[in-house]
């Protein structure tokens, strides 16, 4: 084998819409992979976030339509576009023998273009694809001729085993968690066992200075995201998290989490976000107590399920430095909430919002419309709740059926998705999205535009308030790892 060098790429998405849009957060999935490779091999590693830009322009929902969407479609197919030129230069300069690409459903077309760019430079580079989309699609990914190997599920141990095997030029048949080609056939190896001891994983922030491309151009808050657990016990209709991480939640020890937070604090990071699918399922009291004791000056945020919002939990969180909770309400209609299995009512969600505000914790809420079961009346219910809710910030999304999820099969069986379905055209802000059984696409767009307008107005007021009081940087939301 040539030099033992691997390049891990988070492919472009936001930059295809506008070159000043940026996702500045160090991708945790690639950060964990890089840490494992550095801990357990002597391979060189580079991580490249294609969506990083020092300009950090705020994200605007409206730009995901019209000119922005036209730019996206054009750049997605134009190999001379700037995002591909940047990847081309990095591959030529770094000369990796292996390239790993992280794939989410909305970015898979970008993954294919990234793989083609790599192979055009050197067809002998091994191209490995991993991530949520690969995990749910499995061997179908290898229809793409520029991808050599798929990593399924958690990749830390699998990728280390794979690199060592490629290094020794040994058979891949003993490596769990991969799908690959051999003599014209597709070989599916047994699934990798889930990592029981999450404390055994390296801290992404610790290795970032050694592996992250343009590390010196990143502000310290690029490294402010961590995960305390993997897995989600809830069974939302539209989510594939349980297929990626499992429904049994695995937890890092309190000591391990606090140790990582202390390392981040040494980097002058004074605000941390927990990237768990659902924070606070377990160990909340011990973790918040440990944060209060060891990092009394640190503030933090998390995403939390409505059912976990209790006075007891909020008391511990407030005392432990929590200043912001993000909460998925999704719909303002109880019929829809039941259909998508959120396991709470609108009334309970609004009560949770009030409770959070009573504890002087900022609130960010997520809403989504366009579910297959949606009707005009249910969308208007959501609009009314958005208008009335006391939420500091609102994230509005349009339902997108991701392949491998229950919602995708539901839409497919009802003719809402056709055989020519292209996931690269559908994301949570796509103007092409409409998968409703009972609403025409024209009516859906009309009501959705009304919602977008209200959300934009409320969020502008929030940003003005924050910038007046504190000064605030506004970032693009990263695509969640469970898509």
Domain spans of the chain, in order of start:
5-188, 224-469
Nearest alpha-carbon partner for 475 in 7, 4, 13, 22: 22
Q: What angle do CA 391, 393, 397 make, to 5 degrees?
A: 110
Which residue is listed with tokens 């958005």?
A: 386
Q: Which pLDDT score, from 0 to 100, does residue 472 have? A: 42
Instruction: Please state which of the four CATH numbers 3.40.50.280, 3.10.105.10, 3.40.630.30, 1.10.287.1260 is assigned to the domain occupying 5-188.
Output: 3.40.50.280
pLDDT for residue 58 = 67
Q: Report the phi/psi class of residue 473: left, alpha or beta, with left for phi > 0 and alpha for psi in -120 to 50.
A: beta
The alpha carbon of 68 is separated from its chain's Cα centroid by a whole number of angstroms, namely 21
Give the pLDDT score at 483: 44
Note the pLDDT of residue 381.
Answer: 98
What is residue 468's predicted lDDT score, i.e. its pLDDT?
56
Report how far Cα 1 is from the mean position of its chain's Cα atoms: 33
Determine the pLDDT at residue 471.
45
* Token duo for residue 470: 């504190």
Q: What pLDDT does 461 receive?
A: 81
pLDDT confidence of residue 311: 97
Provide the CA 120 distance to its chain's centre, in angstroms: 28
pTM confidence score: 0.92
pLDDT the model gives residue 476: 44
Mean pLDDT by 10 residues, the chain (483 residues): 90 92 92 97 97 80 77 93 97 98 94 97 97 92 96 96 95 96 94 94 96 95 95 80 76 97 95 93 94 96 97 97 97 96 96 97 97 97 96 94 88 90 85 93 94 91 66 44 44
pLDDT on residue 475: 41
* Location of structure tokens 């290094």: 167
- Torsion 100-105-110-112 (CA) sign: positive
CATH class name, domain 224-469: alpha beta
Say how far apart CA 28 and CA 37 lie, in whole Å. 14
What integer pLDDT is reported at residue 425 of this predicted model?
86
């Amino acid at each position: 084998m040539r030099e033992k060098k691997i390049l891990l790429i988070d492919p472009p998405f936001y930059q295809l819409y506008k070159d000043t849009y940026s996702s500045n957060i160090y991708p945790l999935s690639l950060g964990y992979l890089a840490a494992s490779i550095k801990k357990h091999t002597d391979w060189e590693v580079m991580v490249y976030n294609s969506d990083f830009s020092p300009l950090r322009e705020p994200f605007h929902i409206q730009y995901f339509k019209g000119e922005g969407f036209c730019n996206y479609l054009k750049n997605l197919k134009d190999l001379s576009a700037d995002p591909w030129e940047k990847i081309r230069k990095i591959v030529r300069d770094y000369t990796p023998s292996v390239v790993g690409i992280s794939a989410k459903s909305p970015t898979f077309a970008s993954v294919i273009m990234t793989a083609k760019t790599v192979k055009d430079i050197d067809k002998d580079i091994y191209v490995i694809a991993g991530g949520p989309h690969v995990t749910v699609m499995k061997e179908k990914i290898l229809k793409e001729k520029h991808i050599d190997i798929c990593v399924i599920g958690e990749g830390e141990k699998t990728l280390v085993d794979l690199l060592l095997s490629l290094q020794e030029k040994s058979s891949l048949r003993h490596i769990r968690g991969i799908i690959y080609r051999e003599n014209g056939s597709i070989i599916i190896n047994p699934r990798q066992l889930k990592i029981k001891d999450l404390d055994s994983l390296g801290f992404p922030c610790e290795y970032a200075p050694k592996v992250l491309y343009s590390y010196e151009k990143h502000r310290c808050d690029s490294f402010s995201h961590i995960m305390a657990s993997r897995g989600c016990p809830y069974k939302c209709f539209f989510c594939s998290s349980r297929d990626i991480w499992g429904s049994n939640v695995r937890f890092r020890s309190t000591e391990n989490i606090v140790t990582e937070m202390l390392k981040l604090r040494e980097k002058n990071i004074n605000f941390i976000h927990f990237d768990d699918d659902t924070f606070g399922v377990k160990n909340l009291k011990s973790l918040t107590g440990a944060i209060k004791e060891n990092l009394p000056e640190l503030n933090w945020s998390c995403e939390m399920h409505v059912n976990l919002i209790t006075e007891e939990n909020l008391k511990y969180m407030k005392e432990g430095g929590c200043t912001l909770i993000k909460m998925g309400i999704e719909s303002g209609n109880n019929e829809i909430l039941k259909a998508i299995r959120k396991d709470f009512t609108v009334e309970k969600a609004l009560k949770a919002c009030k409770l959070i505000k009573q504890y002087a914790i900022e609130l960010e809420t997520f809403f989504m419309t366009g579910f297959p079961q949606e009707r005009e009346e249910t969308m208007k219910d959501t609009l009314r709740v958005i208008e009335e809710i006391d939420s500091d910030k609102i994230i509005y999304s349009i339902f997108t059926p991701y392949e491998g999820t229950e919602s995708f099969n539901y839409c497919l069986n009802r003719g809402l998705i056709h055989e020519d379905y292209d996931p690269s055209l559908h994301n949570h802000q796509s103007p092409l999205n409409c998968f409703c059984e009972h609403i025409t696409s024209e009516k859906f767009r009309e009501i959705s535009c009304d919602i977008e307008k209200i959300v934009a107005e409320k969020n502008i007021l929030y940003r003005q308030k924050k910038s007046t009081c504190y000064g605030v940087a506004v970032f693009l939301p990263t695509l969640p790892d469970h898509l």
